[in-house]
Amino acid sequence: MSTITSPVLEDTKLRADIDRSLRHPVMFFFASGAVWLAISLLLGTMASIKTHAPDFMSCCSFLNYGRTMPAHMSALIYGWGAQAAFGVIIWLMSRLSRQECKKSGIILAAGHWWNLMVAIGTVCVLSGSGTGVVWMAFPQAIMISLVLTYFFIGIWAVIAFRVRRGGHIYISQWYLLAALFWFPWVVISGLMFGQLFLGDGDALMVTASTAWFRSALMFLFFTPVAAASAYYIAPKVTGRPVYSYHLAIFGFWALAIVGPWTGMDRMMGAPIPAFMQFLSAGAAVLLVVPAIALFINIIKTAASNKDALAHSPSLRFTVAGAMGMLIFTLMGAVMSLPSALKYTQFSIAQYGLELTGLLGFFSMCMFGAIYFIVPRITNREWISAKMISLHFWLFIYGIVFIAIFYTFLGGFMHGYALEQVGESIMASSGRLYPYAIGLTTGFVFLLFAIFMFCCHLLFMWLRLGRRSNHPTLLSSHSPSMPHGPEGDLDKLEPMDSNQVAH
């Protein structure tokens, strides 16, 4: 056994202090985010069932399609997406900057306020008081409150970066810092130009602003946070450096340059300047470039340690997320081609693509980060590898169902059906029936997966996880495993430097 040198011990202690300082806010964001994800998927399932069985839950007027659908998307974006991202941002930035968080109380309070606003907003949408604007369905006062609350969550990560130890800035920090600045820019611009400046409303301006807002939030907030997480998890779990740092930086700048131009391709044919529509379609195709950079880097880094790839839940989810990003951008590129837009612009393909991005790419990376972070901040290991495995496979089945069956095949079929001018709208809707059933099936898979994840995470929050020195791996432990034989945390021998590498 190697001896533990003093700097290693000090670093271990510092990391433990950072984890302890962020335990409550990070766990709060992850746990409440997971609950919102479950609520969102439940509402999404209801909305999906209503597309092929309109009488389902028809006794409750507040659960009609026009309300459950925006409530589902709002809960997914602001309840799950934003909160999972906040948890990852504040933990990762503190860890990489080697800085304890000194204001965890303020972050925790802001987190509670954020949840309250999301809850009120969701109730407003379900009671018919939503704005009806896609991805900004909450009433304006709630949106403004969310933006202000974000400041009190995000600013401490910026401060941690500014007072960081050491000179090197990791690629994950690049992405995190960019996401921290891009989020207020995108949300404030979307909110002001899409809602606040319009008074009695201008349908074209709202539609155009919202089209940009949706793409910008996806590519300038959710994508960089997921990429930061992937660039941290892959080298950390494999114990190898990032395959190509130059490629990682190239991918970052490609995203920063191309990302803000997307979104207007959804307005093809609308009375806005034509160059904006075609520029956005071009940008949607070019987004494949940063996706390929991320994919190559993560896959090559993960492939350098195949054992870790086979056994680590964090790495498995992260690699699946990197694949998800490539598939998501490729699908987006195909759907944005002017010849394909004829079929996809007004069809279910757009909603399916958003789900593919938010669930198949962003959420997978967030799950990877959560499986990595939670044992460190709770000082407990995940209870069951089987539950993690079930979560992974059920989620994969669900998202593959949605991406292939609903988004791609269903999207093009819907577009084709709408193009048949001699056909009645009922007949063209009838063509959608199998794909709507497919979406519901996908949602059911996702619901089971999230039920597993939620229960597991809440057990961990209650500190009911295993007290062990073994991470929970996706295979049975054996003496030949790299972590050695199973043992109890209380009977630990002093750890060597390899074991404390995380």
Partner 1 sequence: MEANQRDTPLRRFNTFFWGLALFLVFGIACFVIKNFIHNDAKYDAADEAGRARVLKREQVEKEQSALLSYKKEGNSVQLPPSALFSIAGELLGTEPEDSGVPHNKTFK
Q: Any idea which residue has 């990302």 for tokens?
A: 259
Can residue 181 be called a binding residue for partner 1 (CB under 8 A)?
A: yes
- Which residue, 156 or 395, is less far from partner 1 as judged by CB? 156
Can residue 253 be called a binding residue for partner 1 (CB under 8 A)?
A: no
Q: How far is the CB of 158 from partner 1 (least distance, A)?
A: 5
- Which run of H or E residues covers position 181? helix 171-194
Can residue 113 be called a binding residue for partner 1 (CB under 8 A)?
A: no
Residue in 99, 319, 332 with CA at minimum distance from that of residue 229: 319
Can residue 197 be called a binding residue for partner 1 (CB under 8 A)?
A: yes
The residue from 15, 56, 120, 184 that contacts partner 1 (CB under 8 A) is: 184
Euclidean distance between CA atoms 139 and 125, whole angstroms: 8
Tell me how far CA of residue 158 lies from CA of 176, 181, 223, in angstroms. 9, 9, 18
- Find the part of the chain contacting partner 1 (CB under 8 A) among 3-11, 170-178, 346-354, 456-464: 3-11
Pick out residues in 322-381 that bind partner 1 (CB under 8 A).
Answer: none
Query: Strand, helix or coil at 420?
Result: coil
Beta bridge partners of 488: 468
Q: How far is the CB of 92 from partner 1 (least distance, A)?
A: 18
Pick out residues in 398-417 that bind partner 1 (CB under 8 A).
Answer: none
- Which run of H or E residues covers position 482? none
Q: How far is the CB of 20 from partner 1 (least distance, A)?
A: 17
Q: How far is the CB of 150 from partner 1 (least distance, A)?
A: 9
Q: How far is the CB of 277 from partner 1 (least distance, A)?
A: 18
- Which residue, 7 or 494, is less far from partner 1 as judged by CB? 7
487: left (phi over 0), alpha (psi -120 to 50) or beta: beta
The answer to whether 190 touches 54, Cβ cutoff 8 Å, is no
Pick out residues in 76-105 that bind partner 1 (CB under 8 A).
Answer: 98-99
Can residue 141 be called a binding residue for partner 1 (CB under 8 A)?
A: no
- Which residue, 30 or 161, is less far from partner 1 as judged by CB? 161
The residue from 192, 257, 310, 464 that contacts partner 1 (CB under 8 A) is: 192
Can residue 158 be called a binding residue for partner 1 (CB under 8 A)?
A: yes
| Sequential DSSP letters for 290-306 | HHHHHHHHHHHHHHT-H
Residue in 154, 209, 153, 158 with CA at minimum distance from that of residue 186: 209
Q: How far is the CB of 202 from partner 1 (least distance, A)?
A: 9
- Which residue, 168 or 491, is less far from partner 1 as judged by CB? 168
- Which residue, 11 or 423, is less far from partner 1 as judged by CB? 11
The residue from 1, 2, 7, 59 that contacts partner 1 (CB under 8 A) is: 7
For partner 1, what does the binding mask look like between residues 11 and 50, x meaning CB under 8 A?
Answer: x--x------------------------------------
Can residue 159 be called a binding residue for partner 1 (CB under 8 A)?
A: yes
CA atoms 325, 230, 44, 263: torsion sign: negative
Structure tokens at 297: 């880097």
SS3 assignment for 132-172: CCCCCCCCHHHHHHHHHHHHHHHHHHHHHHHCCCCCCCCHH
- Find the part of the chain contacting partner 1 (CB under 8 A) among 10-18, 169-177, 357-365, 454-462: 10-18
Euclidean distance between CA atoms 91 and 21, whole angstroms: 10
The residue from 162, 386, 463, 467 that contacts partner 1 (CB under 8 A) is: 162
169: left (phi over 0), alpha (psi -120 to 50) or beta: beta
Euclidean distance between CA atoms 31 and 320, whole angstroms: 22
- Find the part of the chain contacting partner 1 (CB under 8 A) among 159-167, 235-243, 293-301, 436-444: 159-167
Beta bridge partners of 466: 381
Query: Strand, helix or coil at 201?
Result: coil
Residues that bind partner 1 (CB under 8 A): 7, 10-11, 14, 98-99, 151, 154-155, 158-159, 162-165, 181, 184-185, 188-189, 192-193, 197, 271
